[in-house]
Structure 1
Amino acid sequence: MRQYAGPYKLWILAFLLVLVLAEIAWSWKNDKKVYDIKETFSNLSVFAGFQLSKILFTGYQLAVLGFFTRIAPFSLPRNSWVFLLTFITADFLYYWFHRISHSWKPLWAFHQVHHSAMHMNLTSAYRLNWLSAVISPIFFIPAALSGMPADFIVISYVLNLAYQFFLHTEVVGKMGIMEKIIDTPSSHRVHHGSNPIYIDKNFGGVLIIWDRLFKTYQPETEKPNYGLTTGFMSYNPFVLVFKGFVELFSGKMKLKS
């Protein structure tokens, strides 16, 4: 199977590159200015580091979840229905992981890099902390203790993040009835907005129903201003990834809200 992994990943990267180039062309043609050259290269550098971190930490994630799966009082069968259940459960747990990451400073230290982008475009989607894989499995332990297979949980989380790539764009407007069910580009633009009305809203990964259920939903009613409330951070990928930890331990950490 591994001999096919390389070409498979290359096809995925090629597909993502085509989408990014198409978005750049759209931005240029319509004078939207959603791309900044320095920020784009910064995003790509963070993305490269995140890809390396996935290689380094996948075994650790599986080990953590595998441990709690083994001590679970029962195991669910490996079939499509259980995978669907796992996917929905993982999305629910992601909502809380994401929401707490905005309200608790130690987790915001990991997450603020993602909100530091001053432009909303597809390359900003994987502006993710290289060490996030160290803490993310902890929030999915309830799924493992519920008997869901560890690899189902990991795959569900990976698919959740993959889906969110398509949310980081201004190309797509509102999507009608779908806005009530799934997270959309419009809903996610709100989440990235530093406008007072948009702070700490729309934490959902794939489904937006959790936000509606727990009263954190906000529709897009005004143009979002992207980035942190504290302003521009840096173009240096190492500063972007580690500044949150420096601020945390120096007592200078400020939440987006």
Structure 2
Amino acid sequence: MIDFLNYSNQPRYGLITLLILLIVGEMIWSYRNNKHVYELRDTLTNLVIFAGFQLSKLAFFGIELSIGAFFTRHELFHLEKNTWVFVSCFILVDFVYYWYHRLSHKIKFLWAFHLIHHSSLYMNLTVSYRLNWLSTVLTPFIYAPLLLLGFPIEFILLSLALNLVYQFFLHTEAIGKLGFIEYIFNTPSAHRVHHGSNERYIDKNFGGFLIIWDLLFNSYERETIKATYGTTTGFIGYNPLKLNFKGFIDLFKSKMTYKG
């Protein structure tokens, strides 16, 4: 994705190195403080899923780009590439992400893609990239309205990349509450709530970069008790294939048993 935007590989490799160092640092913090936020099988599963997700992005990139180009050809307006357009694009991408994320918890078809992200019983930085291998196919359709409005596809892709990198830092127990920032930006505290299967935490805090959308649309919940992670239906397993496709299997079974 970054290569498509003509950025050099050096910053990308620097970012990957930083993320690896942060993961190692979190592991050391967990061990020294007896926090038990890492479990070997769970972590290995996360890494395999991450590798598969990267391969899926390469495999589907041509399809994704073709769909994006289609909507771009039918744009209603043409917006110039400048700072204000990018800032507007970044905010709107975050707004669209909020609703896409919220609907992913309400619509069974979208939940089939999203279930994997909530399947871990732990909260650590490696959980951040527990993403479905087929989800990249949905991306151009989700953000098609912004393409039709005339936002440059490069700006949308960059906004998505920055949003995803930011969310990496949310998946941790090493950072506590951050005061007034909790009511502006998404934070680790807010995102722990989102991953919680506690009754009061279910379907809360859908924001990506900003938490303002949750405050505006009544889906915000403060962290008041320790979150119990995982899905409400229980532990699924460590098999990456099962985790990626369980949601679709469940969806198919529900349709087969539906009597109308």
Q: Same fold (TM over 0.5)?
A: yes
Match of 2:246 in 1: 243
Aligned-residue Cα RMSD (Å) equals: 1.8
Are 1:62 and 1:150, in contact at CA under 8 Å, matched by a contact in 2? no
2:18 to 15, 20, 27: 15
Match of 1:110 in 2: 113
In structure 2, the partner of 1:219 is 222
Q: Structure 2: any 5+ residue segments left out of the alignment? A: none
Q: Please state whether the residue corresponding to 2:220 is helix, strand or coil.
A: coil
- What fraction of aligned residue pairs are identical, expressed as a percent? 55
Question: Structure 1 residue 171 and structure 2 residue 174: aligned?
Answer: yes
TM-score relative to the length of structure 1: 0.94
Q: In the aligned structure 1, how far is the partner of 2:12 from the partner of 2:82?
A: 26
TM norm structure 2: 0.93
- Partners of 1:75 and 1:146 within 8 A in 2: yes
Using the alignment, how far apart are the partners of 2:232 and 2:22 within structure 1?
29
After the TM superposition, which of the residue ranges 221-230 and 64-73 deviates more from structure 2? 64-73
Q: 2: distance between equivalents of 1:33 and 1:196?
A: 23
Do the aligned residues in 2 keep the contact of 1:44 with 1:123 (CA within 8 Å)?
Answer: yes
The answer to whether 1:80 aligns with 2:87 is: no
Q: Secondary structure at the match of 2:80?
A: coil
Matched, 1:49 2:52: yes
Could you say which residue in structure 2 is the equivalent of 1:136?
Answer: 139
Q: How many angstroms apart in 1 are the aligned matches of 2:8 and 2:76? A: 35
Segments ≥4 residues shifted beyond 6 Å: 1-4
Measure, in 1, the Cα distance between the counterparts of 2:42 and 2:136. Answer: 24
Match of 2:74 in 1: 71
Judge conservation of contact 1:78–1:149 (CA < 8 Å) in 2: yes
What is the CA–CA distance in structure 2 between the aligned matches of 1:216 and 1:162, rounded to whole Å? 23
- Deviation (angstroms), 1:142: 1.0
SS at match of 2:120: coil
> What is aligned with 1:61?
64
Distance in structure 1 (CA, Å) of the matches to 2:88 and 2:183: 20
CA deviation profile, 1:64-113 (whole Å, cap 9, x unmatched):
22221221121100011101111000000000110010000011000000
Among candidates 160, 164, 170, match of residue 161 of structure 1: 164
Matches of 1:80 and 1:7, distance apart in 2: 24
In structure 1, stretches of 5+ residues that fail to align are none
Aligned residues of 1:110 and 1:131 also touching (Cα < 8 A): yes
Q: How many residues align?
A: 253
State the Cα distance separating 1:8 from its structure 2 match: 4.3
Which residue, 154, 159, 168 being the options, matches 1:151?
Answer: 154
Distance in 2 between residues matched to 1:53 and 1:230, nearest whole Å:
27
| Structure 2 residue 194 is the aligned partner of structure 1 residue 191 | yes
Aligned with 1:97: secondary structure? Answer: helix
Return the offset for 1:35. Answer: 0.4
